Amino acid sequence: MLSHDAKPAQEVGRERGRGAHKGQQTRAAILEAALSLASQMGIEGLSIGALAEVTGMSKSGVFAHFGSREELQISVIREYHARFADEVFLPAIREPRGLPRLRALFTRWVDKVATEIDSGCIYISGAVEFDDRPGPVRDALVEMVRTWHGALDRAIRLSVDVGHLRPDTDPMQMLFEIHGLILSLHHDARFLRSSGAVDRAHKAFERVIQFYAVDPAKAPVGAVAINAAKVEGERSSSTPL
Amino acid sequence: MLSHDAKPAQEVGRERGRGAHKGQQTRAAILEAALSLASQMGIEGLSIGALAEVTGMSKSGVFAHFGSREELQISVIREYHARFADEVFLPAIREPRGLPRLRALFTRWVDKVATEIDSGCIYISGAVEFDDRPGPVRDALVEMVRTWHGALDRAIRLSVDVGHLRPDTDPMQMLFEIHGLILSLHHDARFLRSSGAVDRAHKAFERVIQFYAVDPAKAPVGAVAINAAKVEGERSSSTPL
């Protein structure tokens, strides 16, 4: 690289690639810091200035990666959503359709909220922060929450289809009840600092299942074994989050 | 009053009373504006300056009634709590012990949240705003929420005592589930702007009752009539909120 000769085109291309790669790494590092900041201060606490301070970068350096505060906030919401998908959704949909998958979605959701007791969940706090602030940030948050609700809704409908839940199950009603358990967990563990909230969430979830299950005595566990073989071949058709 | 003579002591006292009364009125007017501001902007959005602007008073005028921003925030939380007690708790504990009272507490809580869809609930948004901000404001919020949880806990225990709910009912578990319904209602109606959340909350509450009731088929309605006479005489011992 000390040569003053013009570099061959291939090498220039490789360096550009490296430059782009470094740019992506910097962007990822800023996003990482932004996620951490947002979980402590809220999405409204995010600003180019605050982020420059935390990362030790110049404001213009941060600005080069995120053109505006709003774009930064939306990028953080999308990054949170991508991680949520990786940690909660994707491993859960590898479970067989029906209650095993629905239970995996819930269990991993509880795990995610439980690991966020100290930092806070961006979905939950964002919903309160932006519930009356119209605009692109709110729209991005609503879209992410709706996407996640859509995934749960499908898992409930599939549980009906494979015969684990009663045909008259109202997916929106069941979703309302399940989501409430997560919100109660977040409230009690984070705000009231009360212990035992995770256990309460699991116990309550089993009660909800018990209510909607075809055969409360058997379905939650029994149906899994009965339908596992049938369900095995259907996994590939799951709609991605 | 046009007389230049010294006023009799009695009259001076009456005027002082009037002055104090006027002071209370001003304080009440400021609190009213502060409550409205807090439900829109959050408790963190409350400041002596913002309130002076909204009320058209001077900063020093507002300051004379609330010595600090923190005192103002705590006063708003207490005022919200007092109104919550008037609208939800006090009318509900006039109902007979057991399920009628527990159902009244829940129904009025739903009504309160439903009327606050546009403004927001200070308990719920405050819990998220202050979940990781230690200090007297958070302490005041936690105290109010715990007091309300305590009232619900007593109503559940009384429902067990009068034989409406099963003796093995875990009040903390039931409370966790009921509170989740309110949080889900607030989230769906206010953030997702989804219709039908109030109906879902009521339906889910009846399901929770059905699970814990001694006789799911009869207790929720039947027990009221059966025990009404017996319960009538016990009302006066209710612990105030």
Task: Give the DSSP letter of residue A165.
Answer: B
B40: chain A residues, CB-CB within 8 Å: 132
Does position A115 have pLDDT exceeding 70, yes or no?
yes
Ranges of H-type helices in A116-190: 122-129, 136-161, 171-186
Sign of the alpha-carbon torsion through A112, A113, A119, A121: positive
The answer on pLDDT for B237 being more than 70 is: no
Residues of B with CB under 8 A from a CB of A: 40, 42, 118, 120, 124-125, 127-132, 141-142, 145-146, 172-173, 176-177, 179-184, 187-188, 190-192, 196-197, 200-201, 203-204, 207, 211
Contact present, B111 and B185 (Cβ < 8 Å): no
B201 to A146: CB separation less than 8 angstroms, yes or no = no
Which of A110, A121, A125, A132 is the best residue to mutate to test the B interface, defined by the most B CB atoms within 10 Å of its own CB?
A132
pLDDT tens, residue by residue, A92-109: 999 999 999 999 999 999
Residue B213 CB neighbours (<10 A): 21
Q: CB of B41 within 8 A of CB of B50?
A: yes
Confidence label for A223 from pLDDT (cuts 50, 70 and 90): very low
Cα–Cα distance measured from residue B67 to residue B69, given in angstroms and rounded to the nearest whole number: 7
- End-to-end Cα spacing for chain A: 45
Residue A204 has pLDDT above 70, yes or no: yes
Nearest to B128 among A124, A176, A197 (CB): A124
Distance of CA A132 to the CA centre of its chain: 22
The per-residue pLDDT for range B190-225, each reduced to its tens digit, is: 999 999 999 999 999 999 999 999 975 554 443 333
Q: For testing the chain B interface, which of A116, A128, A174 should be mutated: the one with the most B CBs within 10 Å?
A: A128
Per-residue pLDDT band for A39 (boundaries 50, 70, 90) equals confident
Place of tokens 């213009």: A60
Q: Tell whether the model's pLDDT for residue A149 goes beyond 70.
A: yes
Weakest-pLDDT range from A120-124, A162-166, A198-202, B5-9: B5-9
For the stretch B92-140, pLDDT in tens is 999 999 999 999 999 999 999 998 888 878 888 888 888 888 999 999 9
Give residues with Cβ within 8 angstroms of B12, minimum separation 6.
none
Cβ contact A93:A150 at 8 Å: no
At A2, the pLDDT band (50, 70, 90 cuts) reads very low
pTM of the model: 0.82
8-state DSSP, B213: B
Cβ contact A180:B181 at 8 Å: yes
B20 pLDDT higher than 50:
yes
Contacts of A168 in chain B (CB under 8 A): none
pLDDT band at B21 (very low <50, low <70, confident <90, very high): confident
Alpha-carbon gap, residue B229 to A15, rounded angstroms: 87
Q: What are the tens digits of pLDDT across the range B156-201?
A: 999 999 999 999 999 999 999 999 999 999 999 999 999 999 999 9
Is residue A227's pLDDT more than 50? no
What whole-number distance in Å separates Cα of residue A239 and Cα of residue A93?
9
CA-closest candidate to residue B187, choices A184, A103, A36? A184
Mutation test of the interface with chain A: which of B132, B145, B202, B211, choosing the one with the most A Cβ atoms within 10 A? B132
Backbone angles phi, psi at B165, to 5 degrees: -110, 155
Residues of chain B with pLDDT > 90, as a percent, come to 56
The Cα–Cα gap between A127 and B128 comes to 10
> What are the residues of chain A with a beta carbon less than 8 Å away from any beta carbon of chain B?
40, 42, 118, 120, 124-125, 127-132, 141-142, 145-146, 172-173, 176-177, 179-184, 187-188, 190-192, 196-197, 200-201, 203-204, 207, 211
